[in-house]
Structure 1
Amino acid sequence: MQGQVIEKQTTEGNKYVDSIPSLIPVERQSLLSNVDVIFNSRFAYDSHFNSVDEDPTAPGDNNSGNHDYSSFNLQQLRFEIKGKIHEKVYFRFRHRYTKNYNIGGIDHVSQATDMAFARIDLGPRTNFSIGKLCADWGGYEFDFNPIDILSYNDIVEYADNYLVGVGVSHTLESKKHSFTFQVLNSRTQTFEQQYGDSAPDDITASEYPLAAVINWRGSFFKGLWETTYSYSFFNEADNAHMNYIVLGNKFKFNNKFVLYYDFHYSDEGLDNKGITSGIVSTPLVDPVAVKDALYVENWARAEYMVAPKVNLLLSVMHSNHYWKDNPDAGADDLLSVSYGVIPEVQYFPFKEYNMKFYVGYVYRKYDYTSYAQTAYGVGDYTTGLLSFGIIAPFLVL
């Protein structure tokens, strides 16, 4: 171990030299200046509400606003370490302690591990990444740090968003546009683990369950309008592919007001998200993974800084769930619609530190078509979550 010489003073004012052993060799301590250790956290006191519309023909919701329970909890706790270990080599690792520890059957990594990758700079504006990556879907909902999202819309909530693979990114000389291309596993679990016996008989596992993701990020009008658009193709199974399009937009009206809008379109030859399959798989039949599911979503978020330390937010969500392969020729493809509204107030107590107190309410409503209610016995319902807490990426190193 190396020693560090420190000059101290006695109570009489006389100087003396003390040697304190250092756990980290001196020649390696410079590496820490390029490394960040972060605890991405959201601590909250939450009150949960729900209601079930037992009679869809009656106006309004039955049992509206029923309180289930209230409790303290850690909604988010993600340990992150990232930094440079060489002038051209960067690493990032983030692990979630609020998710089940399940090992992926394909990638052999815990599903609680968000990212574990290395990035190599091939040039001033080009880099190569390998490992468990954040899929570059596009859209601003998924771009936010997860601690800043009280509730995700359906596609992001149910998707495998962190996948093992490789990626190449290039930024144009103007720095206004950048492009990313990734080749990833199409999921974390094997075909049998994810679908099992629920897969249709004419659908078989692919020998190459891969996905290709292309993303474009742009900046226009001196940064007043920014975009993050993507197209993804998934080889989910033989004769079953998925096409996923995301169009993310960010509008800066001034230094105080920002508006985000995302459009999502996921056409799935085999229902990867499982929402439509969950509707069809009633308790009276065996679980079914349906073919030709379609999800179309809209997500918007407005932020207005009304005072130097007070931020007002409003997020709205909408999602349509379709089954295009419904054998009932007389049925509409649309089976259900979900909505979400999230008003939130944030207070920043410290000027130069990104810790904030917040209060927010997450309202979600799930409506089923009359056909789905009759055919599958489902019923409309709503959920509510009143949350008070603290959001902070605690940078400890």
Structure 2
Amino acid sequence: MKKYFVYIVVVLLPIFAVAQKQENKSDLEYQSLIPVEKQSLLKNVDVIFNTRLAFDNKFEEGDYESSNFSSNQFRLEIKGKIHEKVSFRFRDRYTREHKVGNLDNMSRSTDLAYLVFTLSPQTKLTLGKQSTDWGGMELDLNPIDILEYNDLIEYADNYLIGATISHTLKDGKNTFGLQALNTRTKSLDVQYEGYDISGLTAAKAPLAFVSSWRGSLFEGKIKTAYSYSYFTEAKNKVMHYFVLGNKYKSNNLTLMYDFQYSFEALDNKGIASNIITSGFQAPAEDVKYIEHWLRAEYKIQPNVNILLTVMTNNTYAKSNGNSNEKLVTTYGLIPTVEYSPFKDLNLRFYVSYVARKYNYSSYSETQFSAADRNTGRFSIGFIAPLLVF
């Protein structure tokens, strides 16, 4: 029996060897999912998971309300070059409801989706959905680094479709930009749904124009991000928006300060409207928002950073024929400690407390029955722009 088995092996072994050789050759004929000639493009592409996850403990009027784990931020970002003079950037927010704007036909969860064309070494053209270049340091920071925004950025449409032309002077220290954008992501009737807008006429061209200057002074110790914006909200209803952003850095200390002023013939942010209207009434008009934002960072050790954010907003609006009624002052205080355990990975564990206070004016208390309140949120979590590819 063994003799016959040996004969069978001797006969079949060459056949198996040929078959194996053919199989290996066949494997080599399968093409990669990404063509070989295009794989070199991947060296210019980054895939980033912008992440912030925390265990949040919430308080209302000083009383404990609830605790839960929360993915506060998760924004998938892909960016890179697809040509010597063309680059792209895409960022989508998975922690925001997917709702398509009826004006720009794009989901509000998508922050960025644009192309950048290098027209010259100093001049660039950006087309697509992009960050509105308000200026200021608060909006410039990665959103995962902001535990809570001040009121204007919190309630504004900060990402809009349009075009930007920017030019950097030959000194490399000053960049000037001009944007033309949609005023918002939604049409007038959808933006002000629930309000009486029968007295308003939608603008035929609801466009916004933003001019900006970003500078570097005193050998880079001071950075500036200033802007002026003109928004057409409706026919004969415009918004003027000024932002003065400043940043000082020296050794282990970084200071950032933003001043913002917004005059809105029609209340774009909705903060004033939420106070003075009830039921189906017209949105607030002749609204003024005056805001201050200050952030200090100090690195006490190479892997330990302490931060303090202080912010305030004052809201004024036209009411009963008076266009200068103060409605509310809001305050924010955010002390934070960060610990970075890795030298070669930007991952930080943090402990913070977000304290907010809403101080309504006597006018708002008398006319609209508004009542002061305060909130708090104690969080333990981590922040990481994870470069996964």
CA distance, structure 2, for counterparts of residue 199 and residue 294 of structure 1: 21
- Count of matched residue pairs: 364
Shift of 1:202: 3.4
Name the SS of the counterpart of 2:71 in structure 1.
strand
CA distance, structure 1, for counterparts of residue 168 and residue 159 of structure 2: 23
Gaps spanning 5+ residues in structure 2: where?
1-23
Matching residue within 320, 326, 336 for 1:334: 326
Shift of 1:371: 1.2
The aligned amino acid for 2:38 is R
Shift of 1:204: 1.2
Whether 1:44 aligns to 2:54 is yes
Shift of 1:200: 4.7
Higher helix share: 2
Max Rg structure: 2
Say whether the 8 Å CA contact 1:128–1:167 is kept in structure 2.
yes
Shift of 1:220: 0.6
Say whether the 8 Å CA contact 2:295–2:309 is kept in structure 1.
yes
CA distance, structure 1, for counterparts of residue 329 and residue 112 of structure 2: 32
CA distance, structure 1, for counterparts of residue 193 and residue 34 of structure 2: 50
CA distance, structure 1, for counterparts of residue 364 and residue 34 of structure 2: 63
- Structure 1 residue aligned with 2:89: 92
Say whether the 8 Å CA contact 2:89–2:114 is kept in structure 1.
yes
The aligned amino acid for 2:384 is A
The aligned amino acid for 1:315 is T
When normalised by structure 1's length, the TM-score is 0.89
The aligned amino acid for 2:319 is N
The aligned amino acid for 1:176 is K
The aligned amino acid for 2:307 is L
Whether 1:268 aligns to 2:264 is yes
Segment of structure 1 superposing worse, 197-206 or 213-222: 197-206
The aligned amino acid for 1:236 is E
CA distance, structure 2, for counterparts of residue 383 and residue 210 of structure 1: 36
Shift of 1:286: 2.6
1:156-195 alpha-carbon deviations (Å, 9 max, x no partner): 0000000000110110000010011100000000001011
Gaps spanning 5+ residues in structure 1: where?
1-15, 52-64
Shift of 1:255: 1.7
Name the SS of the counterpart of 1:198 in structure 2.
coil
Say whether the 8 Å CA contact 2:50–2:73 is kept in structure 1.
yes
The aligned amino acid for 2:248 is F
Name the SS of the counterpart of 2:342 in structure 1.
coil
The aligned amino acid for 1:391 is I
The aligned amino acid for 1:213 is V
Note the 1:207-222 alignment, pairs <5 A.
207-222=204-219
Note the 1:116-135 alignment, pairs <5 A.
116-135=113-132
Say whether the 8 Å CA contact 1:102–1:110 is kept in structure 2.
yes
- Structure 1 residue aligned with 2:11: none
Q: Residue 199 and residue 183 in structure 1: after superposition, are their counterparts in 2 closer, same or farther (change >3 A)? A: farther
CA distance, structure 2, for counterparts of residue 246 and residue 109 of structure 1: 27
The aligned amino acid for 2:218 is F
- Structure 1 residue aligned with 2:375: 383
Whether 1:303 aligns to 2:297 is yes
Shift of 1:199: 4.4
Matching residue within 172, 183, 187 for 1:186: 183
C-alpha RMSD of the superposition: 1.6
Whether 1:315 aligns to 2:312 is no
CA distance, structure 2, for counterparts of residue 152 and residue 68 of structure 1: 22
CA distance, structure 1, for counterparts of residue 226 and residue 355 of structure 2: 28
Matching residue within 27, 31, 36 for 2:41: 31
Name the SS of the counterpart of 1:333 in structure 2.
strand
Say whether the 8 Å CA contact 1:50–1:382 is kept in structure 2.
yes
- Structure 2 residue aligned with 1:286: 280
